[in-house]
Amino acid sequence: MATRHSSGLSPRDMKQQLLDKARARRTQTTARVADDAGDDVFASKPTPLVISDDFVRFDRQPGYQQLSMMQQAGAAFGVPEPFFRVHEGCAGATTCIDRRELVNFASYNYLDYSRHPEVIKAAAEAAAHYGTSVSASRAVSGERPIHRQLEAAVARTYEVEDAVVFVSGHATNVSTLGYLLGPKDLILHDEWIHNSSLVGAQLSGARRMPFAHNDPDALEALLSSQRGKFERVLIVTEGLYSMDGDVPDLPRLIALKQQYRCWLMVDEAHSFGVLGERGLGLREHFDIDARDVDIWMGTMSKTLSGCGGYIAGCKELVSMLRYFAPGFLYSVGMPAQVAAPSLKILELLQGDDARQRIARLHAVSGYFLTRARALGLDVGDSLGVAVVPVILGSSLVAARLSNQLFEAGFNVQPILHPAVPEKSARLRFFLSCEHTEAQVDAVLETLIQQLSDIKAGL
C-alpha cells in the first residue's frame, strides 16, 4: 500500500503537483517577458554571441603586438635581431656561428667544464647504463642511484643536511616559492631578482614587496613596518646578479633575517663555482656558515655544465619539497646523462685544476673590469668576477653595437628595454677562464671605436 503524506496525497501525486506548479510559473514568466518585449519571445531569434577578435586571434595578443613592434623598429633602424643565433659547437671563450669562429662573451660556461673529457665521459657512461630518460617522475618509478648521489654531493658541498634536484632551474624557484608560501605570508625580494622568483611568488599567493637593489636599509624598513602582519616571511636575493655582476651584503641579510625571524633564500645560479677561491659561492666569498641561510638555490646549467636546479638546506625543507613541490613531484626525473656531468664537476671542484681555473677566471674578469673603466666605460657596480656589463643608456645603441661587434668577430648580447629600464640598456659580458687578455683588449678596442661611430651617426 502506497505511503501518503499528511495532506492525503501519495508521493506520486505530490510529484505531479510540483511539476504542474513549475510549468505554471514558467508560463507566467514567459508571458511577462513577451509583454515587456512587445513581441512573442518564441518567434524571436536568439541574440548572437559577439566575441572580439582581440580575444581569439593570437596576432592580436599584447605579447605578439609588442614583439612585432620591436622587430619592426629593428628593421627600420637597420639592426638585425641579435637573438636565437645558432651555435654550431661547444660555446666557451670562442664559438662557431654561421661557420665563423667568434670570440664569445655570451656563455655561462665559466670554468670551461662543458667540454672537459671526464665530464663528457661521465655523461656518455650514464646514458649507456640508464638510457636516455628515466621515463617517469621520481616518486613513481623514475628514481635512480645517480639522483641521490648528486643530491648528496650538493649537500656535502654546501655543508648542509640534504638537497633535492629539479629538472629545470626556472621551475626550481617557481615550485619552491609556490609551495612554501601562501596568502598569509610575505615575500621580500631584491627589485632585480630573477623572473623565476617573481613567478614563484605570484604562484604562492603571498604578498610580494620589492626592496631597492642591494639596499639592506630599505629591506629593514619593510621588515620593521610589515613583519608583524604576516605569518611566514621570506627574503630572496641572488648570489651574483647576472645583469650587473654585483653581490648582496650577505652578513647584513643574515642579521636581519635573524632579528625579524624570517627565512632567507639565496639564488646561486651565477655565483656557485665562481665566487671564492674554491668556487663555493657567496658563503665562501663572505666566509659564513652555510646553515645561516635557510634556503640555498642554484642551477646546474652554468659551472656545473648540466641542466636543472637544486635546493639545499635542512632535511625537513628538502623532505617537504620532495613530497609536495609540484615542479618535482609531477615532473619526470632528471635524465642520468644530465645528472652525471654535474656530479663529476662537484668532484673536480675539489682538485687543484679547479682552483687554477677559478683563479684564471678571476684574473681575466678583473682585467676586463679594470680596462673597461680605464676606457671610460660605465660598468656599474660589477664586482669584476665572471659578469661585467657595459651600460649604454639606449636600446638602439646597444642593439647596433652588438651587431657591429658580431660582424667584427665578437659575440656579445645586448640587454634592451623592457628587460631593463631604457637608461640601463647595455651589453653584457660573460667571462670564461679560457678568455685571454688579448681577447679582452681586442673586444674593448673594437667596442670603443664602433661606439664612437654609432654616436657620431645619431
Rg of the chain over Cα atoms, rounded to whole angstroms, equals: 30
217-266 residue pLDDT tens: 999 999 999 999 999 999 999 999 999 999 999 999 999 999 999 999 99
Closest CA to 95 of 304, 406, 443, 427: 406
Give the residue numbers spanning the domain of 263: 117-348
The confidence score (pLDDT) of residue 45 equals 76
**Beta strands, E only, 285-341:** 295-299, 309-313
**What sign has the CA pseudo-torsion 80, 82, 83, 86?**
positive
CA distance 142 to 333: 6
In a domain, 301, yes or no: yes
In a domain, 26, yes or no: no
The structural domain count of the chain equals 2
186-190: strand order across its sheet: 162-166, 309-313, 295-299, 263-267, 233-238, 186-190, 207-211
Same domain (yes/no): 291, 150: yes
Same domain (yes/no): 169, 86: no
User: Which CATH number does the domain housing residue 373 bear?
Assistant: 3.90.1150.10
Is the preceding omega at residue 11 within 30 degrees of 0, hence cis? no
DSSP 64: H
CB-CB contact of 427 with 404 (8 Å)? no
Same domain (yes/no): 324, 436: no
Residues 6+ apart with CB under 8 A from 129: 336
Domain termination residue (choose one: 303, 318, 348): 348
The count of residues in the chain is 458
Question: Which pTM was predicted?
Answer: 0.87
The confidence score (pLDDT) of residue 46 equals 82
Same domain (yes/no): 294, 428: no
In a domain, 184, yes or no: yes
| Degrees, nearest 5: CA angle 240-172-242 | 20
In a domain, 90, yes or no: yes
Same domain (yes/no): 103, 128: no
Domain termination residue (choose one: 314, 331, 348): 348
**Beta strands, E only, 105-206:** 162-166, 186-190
In a domain, 433, yes or no: yes
In a domain, 232, yes or no: yes
In a domain, 35, yes or no: no
The confidence score (pLDDT) of residue 420 equals 87
2-39 residue pLDDT tens: 444 445 556 566 556 656 665 665 555 444 444 554 55
Write the burial class of residue 1 (CB in 10 Å: 0-12 exposed, 13-18 middle, 19+ buried).
exposed
Closest CA to 192 of 401, 362, 389, 394: 389
The confidence score (pLDDT) of residue 72 equals 86
User: Which CATH number does the domain housing residue 212 bear?
Assistant: 3.40.640.10
Same domain (yes/no): 361, 337: no
Same domain (yes/no): 103, 130: no
Same domain (yes/no): 335, 379: no
Same domain (yes/no): 245, 329: yes
Low-confidence ranges of the chain (pLDDT < 70): 1-44, 458
DSSP 335: P
Q: What are phi and psi of 208, to 5 degrees?
A: -125, 130
CA distance 74 to 370: 32
Closest CA to 190 of 230, 272, 250, 276: 250
In a domain, 29, yes or no: no
